[in-house]
Structure 1
């Protein structure tokens, strides 16, 4: 009995101690987190999250369904900033209001940018007479694409005069940047997203002040301008002429796709490259070889800095009496700015330029040059002046990759410091193993592979979300790309550009051809390997938010206690990535084509001429690697439209001519048309011109005889690049057949 009593007492005592032990462990965890946060504060890491807050403000601005008043945005920013100042004595309150101030600053930056660039947009397709200055010309193998700053416009719908238009000509251009030309052109509004959540060219065109796109018709006449061009236009036009001349020089010497790749690497002009070559290097995971990226900018700045410093060090007087390191940094800043201007100043190079200038400025002021803080300042610069870049793949990929590389650099610094401290301390077997692994990751080939792996992992979620594909062999392609850039592209670009005016640059481009031939040969091997490109289905809209936060947690925090927050964030993001909403019918904003899921489970394209870009978007979002031309079987089409059977058996009709409505409305369950459907159409679901004006591009998921809709436009959306629709009435029933046919032809123009 005594044993039984003692056992009962011990169990009761254990039950009383259990809550105490739990609270003790909880308190210990809280104290550990507090210590970790104090360490993060000592390293000034919370500041980095203010940049994230500003980016969140930009994202909220673009998520709004109506354009917010600029005065209201600035007022919210002022209030939040004032509260942050007034709460300086209360750390938690100040942190909250400071975060709100940066969110408001990002939101206001978007509104301010939209107000600054606002320009007229043509409301629908039309043909007009244009005059204006040519700002930029991108040469192609046949014809060219160019940007025209419009001086006058006649005959366009609504008497609109857009600020800029982007035009294509199939003939070789007899004009160049800076010329004043007159031409007739067929113009249309910039295309909207072909898929909800997909790439929206109309938004990017708005921020580039491009109010129309189209084709030049007939002869393009060069004439004397009514007034001189502005100094900035003359300067950048001169830069574009030099870039085109150099690109043609490189392309003609090397020839073929190798010449086009060389021209893109040297000047940033990519339109000479064929689609086959683009697909090859994309499948090999080295598409960034034809872009002027941060790697080139860093190498150019480094060459200028080291070169000028060593040149100045040749003078003993200068080396001993003057701060030649700072002089070299100042000259490298000038060289980096000129390189950015000379290569077109894209978002990726602007980010790299901002980062490079901050690093070189740190040298001028005797501050650490390579740090995450500098990257945060570069991101703030882009957010402040080009907030729309935040939604682009270039910004996301470049910043994620550089942040991962800096995080690796910081980890290496921590490991080296720890090794110095532990050199005299006794080491166990585990410590020796850890030191051996760290040594292999800190030095030699393992360091480059480890850094590439980290940068690739940081960009993988953005690659999958933006392009719906992953390249497993990127660990092979990226070191190959870096080697070509370091030993061929950047040195040849600098030396060749310097020798070009003297006509002595030919041998430089032939040397560059050797490197490009090597990289294209190896890219062919990589692209032909099994699984070189893995298609990825479209994510749920919220998935990329959590995946981005996971990446940010890993690279911005320095303590493992806070880095561990990346695990739940990544898990939530991966659930959204794997459970993204699929679709059974996709219709673009024009209504001229569609993608229908068949009983086989694959998508089939409907329409006489489905747009290549829209078709690619639909197939990629469905993780379908087929080309658009291989996805047209399973539907029957004629001059009146197309008919196909969905996976659940319901009939879907795409009506292209009014004469097909009588039959298709009676037998089809779903009607898709770019026209106004008749009021008496008996189909259960009608997606016509009137409906698409409200929804934009739309996807449907069929279920239980009905459908779940996802639209590109929000409810009552009214933004500068996506204005609220102005619906026009359908033609009266008593008009003649000739008038009705004319109205149908007009309605077949792209929907706006």
Structure 2
């Protein structure tokens, strides 16, 4: 064969070789994927995705623009469940149907919960005389805040009367929960989002059956109740009084900010904390010390379980003849339930309680107690009882942290089991034994730091999304606070509470106060380090979805191939987290405050008395760590309005009095007002009370001489906590009419 012919044959064989290699690579990838699937099936990990599907259904319900049909969701769940049973021999079809069934069950659970708690919500500001029973009282350093179960409301029909209102007092009252009172109050509707995608207090208030918020006017009259409270209500009110009494005693004995922190750690009462103390522990990344969370619940249950078991083991007759381990687990269950009730039963505590009960139940049943399956069951219980909690920071942070810790525990358990099999000759020894690093992270202080790192990484995306901030020094603060909680807080809370009725508890609170004072001293040092709190801009709305699935993939899957899917999911989420966009103007839902971006790039708040909570939300979404009060420009306002200037020279007029319309409609480029603007206003952009009723809070992005606008209320949004405004005939006026010199091609909305 000639050289030319040989070269031609070689060129013809090259594509064939490439094709064979590609086919071989595809076959190897398919085998690896099939092996990974078989590992997940053997480990029963697909079950863990069913609560995730239910949680997705809950989220879809909570963020939907219209109220999903309760009956439709129930019917769809039943149909998917029946087909899943019928097709149980077809693994893939059954899995898809089970996911769809759980998704519909999540919608059904949230819909049913919303229907159960339905109660009237105030639609506009009113001043009224109220009568009712105080359900819960939270004392502050000055004044108090309380929940009032309303029996009578002057000027309200029974269909309009809120079930419960939250009121604020400037002076400390001489009464507590369980007191029947008559008072006059200025009532406001529960606040809606301060910006699109922001925190919606109105939704949380709906599920708490709070129909109005406000402040007390004048004196409060204590009167005899028309009927005594029910047994459960009376017990809960008595418990609230007991928590307040204990919190006050701890705060008085310990004193200062350490006393307020100690009271919060023991009783769950956090209103005694000052803003400065909250800021200190937040910057140090140890805000969880003032919440009753999983660590405290687990330690409390452990004290009951281990203590009672060892006490019973002192008797050989009991230890040899009776199941003392089961008895100790049952006693620990009772202790955990009492601890949850005594500390207010918040979302984080409920999650910890469910997890603890499942773990102790597994001990009674003789099953493995600490597993991802138990955590999934705890999540399912929370979504069944309080599905609205899934959008709260407490739910997200607590479950993400515990899931990461359980994943670390499972990895250590697998490693220990593998080493045991190798020693017993049941598994082949690896060709090269890992030493040093593997053992270092398997036990001792390094193991604690590694577990803290994993938990902090799992919660970082939720911290950044919910609070627009990251705390890099959490690896310093968390091990320190965990040690405090293990050695001082939980044992001290138990011992001090048991001694409190005898009046012999003071020395316990002094010891606890010393430990907390040391932690606060260290926290202040951490907070002064450079970069202790890194402010972040708001995420793109879809970013948190990918970051959530990245965390779930990392902790749920057991095979490395499927676990690596967390990497692309996290990269997409990080891209969305860093490309959330900025805004040039923000308008409050009430129309009485505006944020304007100045020439230096920072936001300036104009308004006579803007809500500091709304201002804080705006600054936080902009990655601005300034104090809200410092961002308000009081000099921009006079008696009838305020004025702001945009970097391109356009003027913004905040009209607070009708007398200002005559001048501002002619000279201002943008009019914002909580009033009704006159129809002949010549400003290029007019946002008045009528418009804000349809849109809610707004963010505006300058595009040429026009505006791109985001609204908190979607078009046609109608939810129980955010009902649609009354129908108006005719087509609504455009939100912005361009002037003659405006760019006609620039988008207006």
**TM tier, smaller:** over 0.9
More deviation, 254-263/368-377: 254-263
Q: Distance between the aligned counterparts of 1:651 and 1:11, measured in 2?
A: 72
2:460 maps to 1:478: no
Q: Which residue of structure 2 aligns with residue 368 of structure 1? A: 368
Q: CA deviation at 1:158?
A: 9.6
Q: CA deviation at 1:157?
A: 8.9
Distance 1:87 1:635, change over 3 A: farther
2:401 maps to 1:417: no
More deviation, 235-244/66-75: 66-75
Q: Which residue of structure 2 aligns with residue 447 of structure 1? A: 447
Deviations 1:123-155 (A, max 9, x none): 111111111111111011111111111111113
Deviations 1:390-426 (A, max 9, x none): 0000000000000000001111122223334456867
Q: Distance between the aligned counterparts of 1:662 and 1:222, measured in 2?
A: 50
Pairs within 5 Å for 1:602-641:
602-633=602-633, 636-641=636-641
> Unaligned stretches of 5+ in structure 1?
730-752
State the secondary structure of the residue aligned to 1:442.
Answer: coil
State the secondary structure of the residue aligned to 1:724.
Answer: coil
Q: Which residue of structure 2 aligns with residue 154 of structure 1? A: 154
Q: Which residue of structure 1 aligns with residue 389 of structure 2? A: 389
Q: Which residue of structure 1 aligns with residue 234 of structure 2? A: 234
Kept in 2, the 8 Å contact 1:126–1:156? The answer is: no
Q: Which residue of structure 2 aligns with residue 331 of structure 1? A: 331
Q: Distance between the aligned counterparts of 2:169 and 2:570, measured in 1?
A: 47
Kept in 2, the 8 Å contact 1:585–1:594? The answer is: yes
Kept in 1, the 8 Å contact 2:607–2:634? The answer is: no
Q: Which residue of structure 2 aligns with residue 194 of structure 1? A: 194
Kept in 1, the 8 Å contact 2:543–2:576? The answer is: yes
Q: Distance between the aligned counterparts of 2:315 and 2:597, measured in 1?
A: 74
Q: Which residue of structure 2 aligns with residue 114 of structure 1? A: 114
Q: Distance between the aligned counterparts of 2:224 and 2:680, measured in 1?
A: 57
Q: Distance between the aligned counterparts of 1:304 and 1:404, measured in 2?
A: 26
Q: Distance between the aligned counterparts of 1:270 and 1:251, measured in 2?
A: 11
Deviations 1:607-658 (A, max 9, x none): 1111110111111111111112322359722112111111232211111111
Q: Which residue of structure 2 aligns with residue 84 of structure 1? A: 84
Distance 1:158 1:310, change over 3 A: closer
State the secondary structure of the residue aligned to 1:176.
Answer: coil
Kept in 2, the 8 Å contact 1:122–1:157? The answer is: no
2:405 maps to 1:405: yes
Q: Which residue of structure 2 aligns with residue 292 of structure 1? A: 292
Q: Which residue of structure 1 aligns with residue 571 of structure 2? A: 571
Kept in 1, the 8 Å contact 2:597–2:603? The answer is: yes
Pairs within 5 Å for 1:103-142:
103-142=103-142
Q: Which residue of structure 1 aligns with residue 687 of structure 2? A: 687
Q: Distance between the aligned counterparts of 1:256 and 1:728, measured in 2?
A: 56
Q: Distance between the aligned counterparts of 2:501 and 2:325, measured in 1?
A: 31
TM-score, normalised relative to structure 1: 0.95
Q: Distance between the aligned counterparts of 1:8 and 1:602, measured in 2?
A: 69
Q: Distance between the aligned counterparts of 1:417 and 1:101, measured in 2?
A: 36
TM-score, normalised relative to structure 2: 0.95
Distance 1:84 1:439, change over 3 A: same
Q: Which residue of structure 1 aligns with residue 259 of structure 2? A: 259
Q: CA deviation at 1:182?
A: 1.3
Deviations 1:268-299 (A, max 9, x none): 00001111111111111111111111110010
Kept in 1, the 8 Å contact 2:612–2:629? The answer is: no
Kept in 2, the 8 Å contact 1:301–1:356? The answer is: yes
Pairs within 5 Å for 1:346-745:
346-422=346-422, 431-432=432-433, 434-633=434-633, 636-726=636-726
State the secondary structure of the residue aligned to 2:384.
Answer: helix
> Unaligned stretches of 5+ in structure 2?
730-749
Q: Distance between the aligned counterparts of 1:435 and 1:59, measured in 2?
A: 45
Kept in 2, the 8 Å contact 1:590–1:674? The answer is: yes
Distance 1:63 1:97, change over 3 A: same
Q: Distance between the aligned counterparts of 1:375 and 1:150, measured in 2?
A: 38
Kept in 2, the 8 Å contact 1:122–1:158? The answer is: no
Q: Distance between the aligned counterparts of 1:544 and 1:604, measured in 2?
A: 28
